[in-house]
Amino acid sequence: MTPDLPNRHLDVFLRNSEVVIYAVLAVLLSISALVTIVGASLVLWQGIIHWTLGTDILRVLDQLLLVLMLVEILHTVRITVRSHIVLAAEPFLVVGLIASIRRILVISLEMSALTKAGNWAPDGESIFRASMIELGLLVVLVLVLVFSITLLRRSPASEDLGTV
């Protein structure tokens, strides 16, 4: 028995374990995405029935952007399992971009409720100021993420790895 044989068996075991873990992760991500789509559909349906679509549409959009994030992560897992390459950075940057946009939408919804006439709370000014700072930082983050994705797509290394 050569000393290299146990290492090869360990490598095969770890590779198979990795594929099983990725498969379980893919199933859980798929179920999460489907449940979120059903939830968004119910919110949309309730908004249509009760004529509150104007207030519910941002919640539906928030849910659908969450689904988009889950699908993007699922796509990354699928590529990793299929090609056995190291995880690519670009899909995670896209997920970060979607998450930042989601947060911008949520803050916008909260601020529209906060600034309605006659609805201004005593601590509303400090909440508004903190939200505006967060919005500014999120806009900077979106710009950085877009710039990073653009750089990754233009780099020769991304063509060699076959990333999307």
Same domain, 41 and 111: no
pLDDT for the residue numbered 164: 44
Q: Which range scores top for mean pLDDT: 38-42, 44-48, 58-62, 115-119?
A: 38-42
pLDDT for the residue numbered 39: 94
Same domain, 158 and 99: yes
Do residues 26 and 77 make contact, with C-beta atoms less than 8 angstroms apart? yes
Same domain, 99 and 77: no
Kindly indicate the confidence band of residue 143, based on its pLDDT and cuts at 50, 70 and 90: very high
Do residues 90 and 149 make contact, with C-beta atoms less than 8 angstroms apart? yes
Return the SS3 of 87: coil
- What total of structural domains would you count in the chain? 2
Same domain, 24 and 92: no
Same domain, 3 and 81: yes
Q: How many CB atoms lie within 10 A of CB 37?
A: 15
Q: Mean pLDDT check: name the lowest of 49-63, 89-103, 110-124.
A: 110-124
Q: Is the pLDDT of residue 32 over 90?
A: yes
Listed in sequence order, the DSSP H helices in the chain are 4-49, 53-83, 90-114, 124-154, 156-161
